[in-house]
Amino acid sequence: MPELPEVETVRRGIEPHIIDMRIKTLTLSSKKLRLPFPANMASKLQGQTIKSIARRGKYLLLHLSTAQNLIMHLGMSGRIQILHNTLINFHYNQSLNPKHNHVIFVFINGKTMVFNDPRRFGMVDLVADNDLWERPYLKHLGAEPLSNNFTAPYLKTCFKNKTASIKSALLDQRIIAGIGNIYANEALFDAYINPLCPAGMLDDMRIENLVYCIRKTLKAAIDAGGSSLRDHRQADGTLGYFQHHFKIYGRAEKVCLNTDCNEKICKIQQNGQSSFYCPQCQKL
DNA sequence: ACCAGCTCCTGCTTGC
DNA sequence: TGCAAGCAGGAGCTGG
């Protein structure tokens, strides 16, 4: 599922193809994503040039020539692909089912960018510059985990008196922007913290180490090109490969990978999501 | 205010 | 073989 590293991988993958590109036509599907498409989006985007592409949490922000921003969220199963020759690639590319194409950008140079999302948990929005950070889904986002704002004192303040589990706290986008279920599991394993541990119970040393482990986990995933687990592919259509490096996610009943630990990995449900942990290594 | 649980959605896997 | 149930989860919403 696209989390911060996958979204960053997509951002880097599509950036060289779309910067300074003018949109010739934009086609929208009739199906609604998590939010309906903004009114007249196709006509508003036609003729605009993409000036830059940024990321905030799991959101992609495309800055347009007319002080507007196209915002995209990949949800659970969203993909973005650049197709150099529309007809040929559509025909031979088995990975994208065209019936789940929701936004098709055709640029003046003939290149095509497709937003495809079978489960339709994704989202597309169009916002003027002066309204951008007032959008509720952006306004309340917490620290970027790879920025200088993400520090142990910051996390300590967020976790103060929190009775909710550390696992659900890591998934709270108002605290940290961009972590999803997979990397929450991986970071907690790396930090030797049990996902059931109440966030407010962590002492300074463990929080310090957790900050380090979150950064390390996310950076490693970005370096590996993002995971391609189930639905994710890089922008050029090639598979990422970080899924081979999961130390804990999806390893229920398998032996813990830590040296000298022979314990079996446990799988539990927390807030409707699967958590994996080693009961020996990860302390409450 | 805070927290857990439900909901949306489709495709893959599992079980009978 | 075929069908149905189960599972996957990001984020917004609801109810305790």
Instruction: pLDDT band for A95, please (50, 70, 90 cuts).
Output: low
Q: Which residue has the higher pLDDT, A79 or A88?
A: A79
The sheet carrying A123-128 orders its strands as A79-83, A112-116, A101-107, A21-28, A49-56, A59-64, A68-73, A123-128
From the CA of A269, how many Å to the C1' of C2?
Answer: 31
Residues of chain A (152-191) having a beta carbon less than 7 angstroms from strand C:
171, 173, 180-182
Give the pLDDT score at A82: 85
Burial A102-125 (b: 16+ CB within 10 A, else e): bbbbbbeeebbbbbbbbebebbbb
pLDDT at residue A279 greater than cutoff 60 = yes
From the CA of A99, how many Å to the C1' of B9?
Answer: 14
Give the pLDDT score at A79: 87
Q: Does A229 contact strand C, using a CB cutoff of 7 Å?
A: no
What's the gap between Cα A1 and its chain centre?
7
Q: What is the mean pLDDT of chain A?
A: 88
Exposed (0-12), middle (13-18) or buried (19+): which is A272, by Cβ within 10 Å?
Answer: exposed
Give the pLDDT score at A235: 53
From the CA of A181, how many Å to the C1' of C5?
Answer: 24
Q: Measuring CA to CA, how many Å separate A202 from each of A8, A120, A217, A248? A: 29, 37, 19, 21
pLDDT digits (tens, 9 = 90+) for A164-188: 999 999 999 999 999 999 999 999 9
Q: Does A21 contact strand C, using a CB cutoff of 7 Å?
A: no
Give the pLDDT score at A226: 56
Give the pLDDT score at A233: 53
Give the pLDDT score at A159: 94
Nearest nucleotide from residue A164 CA, by C1' atom: B3
Give the pLDDT score at A94: 47
How much is the average pLDDT of A238-250?
68
Greatest alpha-carbon span in chain A: 62
Q: Which amino acid makes up residue A124?
A: V
Nucleotide B4's nearest residue (CA vs C1') is A271
Q: Alpha-carbon Rg of chain A, whole angstroms?
A: 20
Instruction: pLDDT band for A34, please (50, 70, 90 cuts).
Output: confident
Choosing from A3, A6, A8, A186, the catalytic residue is: A3
Q: How many C-beta atoms lie closer than 10 Å to residue A259's C-beta?
A: 5
Give the pLDDT score at A244: 59
pLDDT at residue A85 greater than cutoff 90 = no
pLDDT at residue A54 greater than cutoff 50 = yes
pLDDT at residue A90 greater than cutoff 80 = no
Give the pLDDT score at A31: 84
Q: What is the C-alpha to C-alpha distance for residues A129 and A222, in angstroms, rounded to an integer?
A: 28
From the CA of A276, how many Å to the C1' of B8?
Answer: 25
DSSP conformation class of A181:
H
pLDDT at residue A243 greater than cutoff 60 = no
The DSSP secondary structure of A127-157, one letter per residue, reads EEGGGGGGSHHHHT--B-TTSTT--HHHHHH
Could you identify the residue written with the tokens 């098709």? A104
pLDDT at residue A250 greater than cutoff 50 = yes
pLDDT digits (tens, 9 = 90+) for A99-114: 889 999 999 998 899 9
Nucleotides on strand B lying under 7 Å from protein C-beta: 2-11
How much is the average pLDDT of A225-232?
51
Q: Measuring CA to CA, how many Å separate A49 from each of A19, A65, A93, A106, A110? A: 8, 5, 27, 12, 14
